[in-house]
Amino acid sequence: MIKEDFTYLNMVFLHVAIGATVQFIPFISIFLGYGMYFFWIIYIIKKQNRNNEVLIAAAYIVGSEVFLRMTGGNPLYEITKYGVIIFLLIGMYYKGISRGVIPYWIFLLLLVPGLVLSTSVLSFESNMRTTIMFNISGPVCLGIASLYTFRRKISLENTNDILLAMGLPIVTCMTYVFIHAPSTREIITGTSSSSAASGGFGPNQVATIFGLGMFVFFSRIILSSKTSFQVVLNAILALCIGYRGLVTFSRGGMITGILMLGLLLLFLYQKSNFKGRVKLSYIMILIGFTLSVGWIFTVSQTSGLINNRYANQNANGEQKESKFTGREDIAMDEIDLFLQNPIFGVGVGRGYELRTISTGDDVLSHDEITRMLAEHGSFGVLGLLILIVTPLVLYLENKFNMFLLCFVVFWFLTINHAAMRLAVPAFVYSLSLLNLQLGSPEKLKEEE
């Protein structure tokens, strides 16, 4: 085993150990939650963000968010979004705001009318500050992160480091869920999403982060595994994370992870020469074998119910009426609110209140797109257009950015089934705006 293999194994083992330790000594999660922010702020200031350390720091806390939420380690529920904002503002202090970033200034300004409106329409019973911050922190996090990343040059090596920083805490989360959750055979008796199989936390959020984690380690097999040992280790990590994601029985996150992987493989295959395609074919066989093993094992552990879940059937094999577990009704309500209030919308957080009044259901929106339409009106439409069109324009400028479409797809699909409950869609979206260069980090420094 070479030194690089040993270092990588130690990093993985450390994060496995953290997950196991928190299961048996829960209060350690609180120390991790607080200590992590102090460590990264000191680290960034010490390094003065010479190599975009703020992106490593932000990636790490984003990857840790679900684990710390499920173990009670986060000082504040939404602290990850605030942390990403603070880290990247520090990054701007050292390296400035990216050039030509006007679209994201406009996006942030388009959020203001809905904010102002909400101060006058929210009911007296609601906690105005909490309601507004819960709904607006995700878009603001995305906007601030984009101000930093827009067209900022970064090497492929550094991009892989950012993804690893996000992936290692997901390994911690996966380890904790493996130990904390009861036996899969005991708890899976139907085809609904399972909180018990998700470590006692929301299966939608857990599957979202596990789908991303699976993609991260499969991408490392393709782009960042220099030895056979690293290939095998990354395949094992992707397999374990993928299995835990599948048994949550929450489909959105896992389907998103598979689509991201498919896009990356398709991109690389198209851009490769004959020799590269042959090598990539072997990798695709390995990934296909790993996914097949994971699926077959999951089928055996769930007595075949996972097949029913992804076929949208109940435990008896009967087709379910709704493919989206009723979320489409909420989306339609929000579209109706937009049509009734097309200019300014109903105000940030007001959509939830109106839905509760009209239906009596205390259910939050799962779709950030329809929420933006309902609560921000035409300003929300313009904001969404900026978010969709801008990365596509950047792709036309740099067609060798292999991650751009993967990240945009992750953002778009995630906000359609999990809104912006987590910081991860906002942060991953901002990564799509980086100007990925295939040269070495040292060469990029010389150019700067």
Residue in the block written with tokens 């018990």? 196
**Going residue by residue through the chain (448 aa), what tens digit of pLDDT does each one get?**
688 899 999 999 999 999 999 999 999 999 999 999 999 999 999 999 999 999 999 999 999 999 999 999 999 999 999 999 999 999 999 999 888 899 999 999 999 999 999 988 887 667 778 888 888 999 999 999 999 999 999 999 999 999 999 999 999 999 999 999 888 888 888 888 888 899 889 999 999 999 999 999 999 999 999 999 999 999 999 999 999 999 999 999 999 999 999 999 999 999 999 999 999 999 999 999 999 999 999 999 999 999 999 988 888 888 877 666 667 888 888 999 999 999 999 999 888 888 887 776 667 788 899 999 999 999 999 999 999 999 999 999 888 899 999 999 999 999 998 889 999 999 999 999 999 998 766 666 555 5
User: What pLDDT is recorded for position 17?
Assistant: 98
What Å distances lie between residue 300 and 243, 254, 290, 392, 401, CA to CA? Answer: 12, 18, 16, 42, 39
From CA 370, how far away is CA 332, in angstroms rounded? Answer: 8
From CA 22, how far away is CA 30, in angstroms rounded? Answer: 10
Closest CA to 261 of 194, 214, 316, 191: 214
DSSP 305-349: HHHHHHTTB-TTSPBPS-SSTTHHHHHHHHHHHHHHSTTT-S-TT
Q: Are 60 and 36 in contact (CB under 8 A)?
A: yes
User: What pLDDT is recorded for position 130?
Assistant: 83
3-class secondary-structure state, position 153: strand
| Percent helix, percent strand, percent coil in the chain, to nearest 5 | 75, 0, 25
User: What pLDDT is recorded for position 127?
Assistant: 75
DSSP 403-447: THHHHHHHHHHHHHHSTTSSSHHHHHHHHTTSEEESS-HHHHHHH
From CA 209, how far away is CA 425, in angstroms rounded? Answer: 10
From CA 304, how far away is CA 308, in angstroms rounded? Answer: 7
Q: Are 258 and 310 in contact (CB under 8 A)?
A: no
Which tokens in the block code for residue 253?
């996150």
297 Cβ contact partners less than 8 Å away, ≥ 6 residues apart: 243
From CA 307, how far away is CA 405, in angstroms rounded? Answer: 29
Phi-psi region of 312 (alpha: psi -120 to 50; beta: other; left: phi over 0): left
Q: What is the largest CA-CA distance in the chain?
A: 66
Closest CA to 134 of 81, 72, 69, 60: 81
Q: HSE of 202 in the Cβ direction (CA atoms, 13 Å)?
A: 15
Q: Are 58 and 145 in contact (CB under 8 A)?
A: yes
From CA 6, how far away is CA 166, in angstroms rounded? Answer: 20
From CA 214, how far away is CA 406, in angstroms rounded? Answer: 13
How does 278-305 read in b/e, with b if 16+ C-beta sit within 10 Å? Answer: eebeebbebbeebbeebbebbeebbeeb
Count of other CB atoms within 10 angstroms of residue 126: 15
Q: Are 436 and 401 in contact (CB under 8 A)?
A: yes
From CA 242, how far away is CA 20, in angstroms rounded? Answer: 19
